[in-house]
Chain A
Amino acid sequence: MSLMGQDVLTEDGLFMVNIGPQHPSTHGVLHLKVWLDGETIVKIQPHLGYIHRSIEKMSENLSYRNFIFATSRMDYLSAHINNEACALTVEKGLGIQATPRAKVIRIIMAELTRLASHQLWWGCTGLDLGAVTPFFYAFRDREAINGIMEETCGARLTMNYMVPGGVMYDLHPNFQKHTKDVMASIKKNLADYDNLLTGNVIFEMRTKGVGVLSKEDAISFGCTGPTARASGVSCDIRKLFPYSGYENVQFDEILATGGDCYDRYMCRMAEMRQSVNIIEQLIDTIPEGDFQEKTKAVIKLPKGEFYQRVETARGELGVYIVSDGAASPYRVKYRSPGFSNLSALSQMAQGVKIGDLVAIMATIDLVIPDIDR
């Protein structure tokens, strides 16, 4: 076929379309090269690097207190959990633990972050599938959570509230009251979410049976988080390798078996309810005491390698620090969930339509700075 006298098809008769780096549904600067046969996707190739800021290299020149802040800019929707991962790794190196109060604060903050992240994801999923209104309902609830964050941490998105040994400062006096109010309203609004999108027949048609990721593929691509759990892979770090006191909290690991977009969606919806559940368990029983373990002014990790994994809103984040005994890490490596989840995209998007590609990208919940770092 030719368009305006120029051949637009590749040799094997496919139609190549660049989706991104500037495209409404890639949520950032992801570039996908897509080969189409009509509207059906034959091949897909992600191109990365448009937002690479060498956070890992930067961290090698920063002290152990300072390098934490940059991780907020990786997966900016679970900034808190990223910070926590770094703080936990440094604590592991120092051989200390956060104070009991700090541990509980960390869990509550992490779950609030997870809720806010999933709410944004819910809104964006609606937006990607063509429904604009969910976005605003999601943001209404997310703003309430951000308000809590702002009150206690001083910032809404990149909080930098975690320090090695605990948290930066104590909870705001209004924290418990506000959190309870917000949890009550979120529990009410989750029903709204279901009315608007979950049960909607168009939404079900768009997601059920679309972008199936088998259990074997999920494991071999290294998928984690709700993306893998929807395929039946038990991989919740909070359950399997509890950190920061998650072993003392009652919650369920959400597993599904279908591995399609609808299951990924339902996994995240159920996780929101679990997060509310976790916060409600802890909010009344925050132990008194110090919010921060005393650490030396200049932290030096002993020679060695330290690894800590946490469960962010997107999956498993691993922080790997190699120390040569100096005041800054010798090498830092982040194992980010978005990168592995993205790699499964080409498998999931075999033979689907362009509209489905958008649905798949929405439900694996990509945050592009997390992929590139």
Chain B
Amino acid sequence: MKEPGYFKTIYLSVRSLLKGMKMTGYYFTHLKEIQTEQYPDNRATLVMADRFRGEVIMPHNDLNEHSCTGCQACEIACPNGTIKIITKQEILADGKKKKAIDQFVYHLDLCTMCNLCIVACPTDAIKMGHEFEHSVFDKSQLKKILNVKGSKVKAGVE
């Protein structure tokens, strides 16, 4: 390929520069192209994707019941040791002993939101919540107990 001459070089360079300026000029004059979202002003209208992974939560129904049987599948599935399940022995009405959870301890500060515990759970007791504003001033507040105090296992969940 022949090298363009002195004046051709100048012409081509100026043209390429003007091309770029035309682009930025276009966006400068077309303010509807602006992409930024005004967080946190738009908190009320901000919709996260349905599958968004913010934190692990344990849904409870109106009777304060959850579906966690304390099988510890999630604890085994977790790569980071985020979940610790403390179980207790519950004595049922017919006198039989049954394993149940005492505390479902969830260390949010260790969690990588990999979703493996949710997949591992056989009873769909835990799922991913959409909350993402986790900043706190003290790290200890990130240790959460997911089962509400006094809650029970749903009837029929084994």
Contact = CB atoms under 8 A, between A and B. Distances in A.
Assess A/B contact in the complex (Cβ within 8 A). yes
Interface of A: 62, 65-67, 69-70, 133, 140, 143, 147, 150-155, 158, 160, 163, 168-169, 172, 192, 195-197, 199-202, 204
B31 interface: no
Contacts of A147: 49
A200 B12 CA distance: 10
Top 10 closest pairs, chain A to chain B, by CB: A201-B13, A154-B51, A66-B79, A69-B114, A154-B53, A160-B114, A151-B49, A201-B16, A150-B49, A199-B16
Interface in B45-97: 49-53, 77-79
A160 B79 CA distance: 12
13 contacts: A69-B112, A70-B79, A133-B24, A150-B51, A152-B51, A154-B51, A154-B52, A154-B113, A158-B112, A196-B20, A197-B20, A200-B16, A204-B16
B29 to A, nearest CB: 15
Nearest to B112: A69
A262 to B, nearest CB: 14
A160 B35 CA distance: 28
Contacts of A168: 115, 119
A331 to B, nearest CB: 18
Given A65-B77, A133-B24, A195-B20, A160 B116 contact: yes
A172 B51 contact: yes
A343 to B, nearest CB: 30
Nearest to A199: B16
A67 B80 CA distance: 10
B35 A143 contact: yes
B23 interface: yes
Contact of B23 (A154, A163, A195): A195
Contacts of B19: 195, 199-200
Given A154-B49, A160-B116, A172-B51, A200 B24 contact: no
Contacts of A163: 119
A204 to B, nearest CB: 8
A158 B22 CA distance: 37
Given A200-B16, A200-B17, A69 B116 contact: yes
A143 B37 CA distance: 12
A151 B79 contact: no
Contact of B77 (A66, A150, A153, A169): A66
A69 B20 contact: no
B52 A65 contact: no
Contacts of A65: 77, 116
Nearest to A202: B17
Given A195-B19, A200-B16, A69 B79 contact: yes
B128 interface: yes
Nearest to B19: A195
Nearest to A158: B112
A260 to B, nearest CB: 15
Contacts of A69: 79, 112, 114, 116
Given A62-B79, A153-B51, A160-B114, 7 more contacts: A133-B24, A169-B51, A195-B20, A196-B23, A201-B12, A201-B17, A204-B16
Most interface-central of B17, B20, B50, B52 (chain A CB within 10 A):
B20
A62 B116 CA distance: 13
Nearest to B73: A297
A204 B19 CA distance: 14
Interface string B2-36: 00000000001100110110111000000000010
